[in-house]
Amino acid sequence: MVPHAMHEVPPESITKVVSGIVTRYHGEKRHLMRMLQEIQAVYGYLPREALEELSRLTGIPLVDILTVATFYHQFKLERPGYYIILVCMGTACHLKGNLDNYEAMRSFLGLGKYEKTAKDGTVTIEKARCFGACSLAPVVMVVSRDGKERYLHGHVTLQEARRIVAKYRALALRKMRGEK
């Protein structure tokens, strides 16, 4: 289920990263959400191995960790694409047709019913909660999976939506090639 993770995350690094985080929070259950946020800040998502290591080091049952990880929307259990395209599902954006934009983007990438990420790992398309930029509805926000880049696009039309997907896909390809 997590093929990307297996290739991208060296196992030695997981122990080092997680134990560093656990030490800082004394492994206390009350800091569970924060520890998970820090793990996600490193990998861009929560690798299963990291959660298992977290459970091992803190003694918090894995089921409790997964309860929190699957409950809150911010946590991702699958590695996202280089860019994550967030389509705002706020009221104003919905009334201005953002659902059509969402479908158009997915169709443009040829995503299957339960797929969210393009097969080449460039972009992920997700529905997002309201950003509070309602005057620019319909709004689409694009963030890089390392959290460093953030771009907000307003007044997005169907054509613009497709252009956004194409643009960030191309950008991701260039950056990913540069990465290697």
Partner 1 sequence: MTWSLMDKCCDRCWHSPEYPCRHYIRCRLNGPLCHEDPECRKKRENRLREIMYGKYGFKIKVPMASCTIAAGAREVYDAVIKEVKSRGIRVDVRKTGCMGMCYIDPWIELVKEGMPAAIYANVKPEDIPKIIKEYLEGDVSGAFALRYRTGKAKGEDKVPLLEELEPWKNQVRWVSRNCGIVDPESIEEYIALGGYRGLDRALNMKPEEVIEEIRKSGLRGRGGAGFPTWLKWKIAREQPGDVKYIIMNADEGDPGAFMNRLLAESDPHRVLEGMIIAAYAIGASKGFIFVRAEKPLMAERLAKAVEQARKYGLLGENILGRGFSFDVEVILSAGAFVCGEETALIAAIEGRTSPRQRPPYPATRGLWGKPTIINNVETLAHVATIMAEGWEKFVKYGTEKTKGTKMFCVTGSVKRTGAYEVPVGTTIEKLVMEIAGGPPEGRKVKAVQIGGPSGGCIPASLLSTPIDYETLQKAGAIMGSGGIVVIDDHSCMVDVAKFFTSFTVAESCGKCFPCRIGMKILYDTLEKITNGEGTEEDIEILEELGDVIRSSSLCALGGTAPNPVLSTLRYFKDEYLAHVRDKRCPAKVCTRLVEYWINPEKCTGCGTCAKNCPANAITGEPGKKYVIDPSKCIRCGRCYITCPVGAVEKR
Sites of contact with partner 1 (CB under 8 A): 28-34, 36-37, 67-68, 71-75, 89-95, 100, 103-104, 107-108, 128-137, 139, 152, 154, 157-159, 162
Nearer to partner 1, 23 or 72 (CB): 72
Nearer to partner 1, 51 or 139 (CB): 139
Nearer to partner 1, 17 or 35 (CB): 35
User: In this structure, what token pair is assigned to residue 34?
Assistant: 């924060």
Nearer to partner 1, 13 or 64 (CB): 64
Nearest approach in angstroms of CB 13 to partner 1 is 23
Nearest approach in angstroms of CB 126 to partner 1 is 11
Nearest approach in angstroms of CB 170 to partner 1 is 18
Nearest approach in angstroms of CB 71 to partner 1 is 4
Nearer to partner 1, 24 or 34 (CB): 34
β-bridge mates for residue 81, sequence order: none
- Under DSSP, the state recorded for 72 is S
Q: How far lies 51's CA from each of 22, 36, 42, 66, 70, in Å? A: 12, 8, 13, 8, 12
| Residue 175: closest CA among 124, 107, 125, 123 | 123
Nearer to partner 1, 15 or 157 (CB): 157
Nearest approach in angstroms of CB 160 to partner 1 is 11
What is the Cα–Cα distance from 154 to 19, expressed in whole angstroms? Answer: 41
β-bridge mates for residue 126, sequence order: 86
User: In this structure, what token pair is assigned to residue 110?
Assistant: 């040829």
What is the Cα–Cα distance from 97 to 157, expressed in whole angstroms? Answer: 8
| Residue 105: closest CA among 145, 144, 142 | 142
Nearest approach in angstroms of CB 166 to partner 1 is 12
